[in-house]
Amino acid sequence: MLRKKFIALICIVGLSFSLTACGAAEKTAADASGGSSKSTNSGSFLQNLAGGSKTDSAPAEVDGGYFYTEAETNDAPSYYVSESMESVAADMAVGSSSADLAYTNEAEYYEPDFNTEEYNYIKENSFLKVATSPLSTFAADVDTGSYTNFRRMINDNYSLSQIPSGAIRAEEMINYFNYEVKETRDNKRFAVSYETGVCPWNEDNDLLMMTVKAKDVDLEYVGNNFVFLIDSSGSMSSNDKGALAIRSFKLLAETLTEDDRVSIVTYSGSSRVVLDSCDGDNYRKICKALDSIQFGGGTNGSGGITAAYELADENFMEGGNNRVIIASDGDMNLGITSTGGLTELISEKKESGVFLTVLGYGTGNYSDANMESLADCGNGNYHYIDCIEEAERVLVDQLKQTTVTVAKDVKLQVEFNPTKVSEYRLIGYENRTMAAEDFEDDTKDGGETGAGQTVTVVYELVRNKDGNTGSDLKYQTDRELTDAALSNELLTLSIRYKEPDGRRSVEENFDIIAPAKISYNLSEDLSFVAGVVELTMIINNSQYMGDATLDSAYRLVKNGTADDEAREELAKMMRSLR
């Protein structure tokens, strides 16, 4: 019965299209000559039925009165739901053209039963003995993608057990939020604030929180040279992906001036230059180019990256802020597709002096593994955009932090005082740890820090209660201590970085003083961070979570909300976890 209904309705559709084909052609031509257009799977499918333009999506079977079209993805198809056949036939009967439908009947994303999202494996940092491993070295990381991805999952009613392994990285959860740092008046590029307290999930240990802030220095940029690199493949054809990405870039475009330059590149099966460098204050021209983007086909991300960096090089601003901003779901199935190949490509491109901002979108086939790796290897930062408010936060409210680099290849190294600490565990930063000797090696990459941006680091410490630093190693039973070891210093934090256009690193050092007495009363910042750490340990089933529970994590976060809306949001989400 359903098959007969389908055949009959197809006939109606075909007849209606034959009567309106001229109008559709005229509308399409008008759009191509300057009118804005929005490409959806419903429009592409209808054009196929009418014998219109060829698309990568083929009509599939009808179920429940809805069209389903299959778009190319890496491992499995995604589906998009358009108008019911009856409503489409009714619209065309009154003279609507396929182009009109493509514009007004935007497809909504249909979540398939399967999930092909990709996340890198996280091997949790373990406790290390100060006697044998006194140095803790890692690249600064100011990415925040894990938190907004977590928020998306909670809003989609994920339970704890449904959160994918590797999706939640502790440092990205912590660094999404702002913490107080008292800036000094010295000539250093960074300022550091710190606090210690009793570790809530293991009261035999201490918790140390250090927040490093890049001072909001004026580097006197002559302007921004931005290349918007937009994934226009079929998998981006949904409101939470391509449509949201275009709205995001429009927000950024509103902030630009005549001193800035904007280019736009898209990639699907191949790359295409949509806008070849125009003045930043030409908002209407930028929006017109963004509105012309249509989504469909495979995903040649490597081709798009190459084209975007070539365009950034062509329009390179000496003394300016040169940056590629990529928007994608990370699902790449043409050209170079492996994470290793993509990171090698982006590592080569960063030598041009062009920085990178990675914006992740969408669900179902999202590749966090690719997006995070691109940012880490490309002098860049990574954010997951789950809503237009987050786009505004990243690209408008925190524009200087996320798009103006004041220090590149930033590395942190902590040297613990063995008379104060016997063991330590760095919480998070698992994929950013480095060998101690890499700290002074300027050929080894670090992280990038924006103007006024903060990096927060948390350690769980085992106190050295008796001050005995003797090692049980065969050749290290007697170790001579320096005068500094006998001071009240807990550790020394060293920061190495390069100027945005520099090749040699500068080093700054900060002494962190041990408290006279460890407090059970945590400040609002330390309480909040402790709650976030407990939450991530529970999600990741950490072997070190001790007495951590969702209730205790919630209480710690709630005690540290400090009337901060973002912190209040996390507390509210935690109450819904199960």
Tell me if 23 sits within 8 A of 97, measured CB to CB.
yes
Q: Give tens-digit pLDDT for 324-358.
A: 999 999 887 665 556 667 777 777 777 788 999 99
Phi, psi of 284 (to 5 degrees): -65, -40
Tell me if 402 sits within 8 A of 176, measured CB to CB.
no
Q: Give tens-digit pLDDT for 131-164.
A: 999 999 999 988 999 999 999 999 999 999 999 9
Element (H, E) at 91: helix 85-93
Strands (E), 332-391: 355-360, 380-384
First to last CA, the chain: 44
Q: Give tens-digit pLDDT for 279-320.
A: 999 999 999 999 999 999 887 778 888 899 999 999 999 988
pLDDT at 500 exceeding the cut of 60: yes
Distances (CA, A) of 448 to 168, 283, 309, 495, 512: 21, 29, 18, 12, 23
* Furthest-apart CA atoms within the chain: distance in Å: 95
Can you give the length of the chain in residues?
A: 578
Tell me if 225 sits within 8 A of 323, measured CB to CB.
yes
Task: Report the CATH superfamily, name and number, of domain 224-403.
Answer: von Willebrand factor, type A domain (3.40.50.410)
Element (H, E) at 11: helix 2-32
Phi, psi of 277 (to 5 degrees): 60, 105
Using only C-alpha atoms, what is the Rg of the chain?
27
pLDDT top residue among 201 and 356: 201
Tell me if 81 sits within 8 A of 110, measured CB to CB.
yes
Tell me if 222 sits within 8 A of 315, measured CB to CB.
no
pLDDT top residue among 79 and 227: 227
What's 521's DSSP letter? S
pLDDT of residue 347: 76
What whole-number distance in Å separates Cα of residue 286 and Cα of residue 261? 10
Element (H, E) at 17: helix 2-32
Distances (CA, A) of 446 to 108, 229, 291, 307, 498: 40, 24, 37, 25, 10
Query: To 10 degrees, the CA torsion angle through 317, 318, 320, 326?
Result: 50
Phi, psi of 313 (to 5 degrees): -65, -40
Greatest mean pLDDT among 100-109, 210-219, 454-463, 480-489: 454-463
Q: What is the CATH number of domain 128-218+406-469+483-576?
A: 2.60.40.1230
pLDDT of residue 72: 31
Same topology for domains 128-218+406-469+483-576 and 224-403, yes or no?
A: no
CA 76 vs. chain centroid, Å, equals 23
Tell me if 316 sits within 8 A of 348, measured CB to CB.
no
Query: To 10 degrees, the CA torsion angle through 130, 134, 135, 136?
Result: 0
Q: Which residue from 40, 91, 37 is spatially nearest to 69, judged by alpha carbons?
A: 40
**What's the token pair of residue 457?**
């680091």
pLDDT of residue 358: 94
Query: To 10 degrees, the CA torsion angle through 294, 299, 304, 306?
Result: -170
The C-alpha angle 501, 274, 44, rounded to 5 degrees, equals 140
Domain ranges of the chain: 2-110, 128-218+406-469+483-576, 224-403
- The pTM for the full model equals 0.78
What whole-number distance in Å separates Cα of residue 267 and Cα of residue 232? 6
Q: Which residue from 475, 557, 441 is spatially nearest to 176, judged by alpha carbons?
A: 557
pLDDT of residue 211: 97
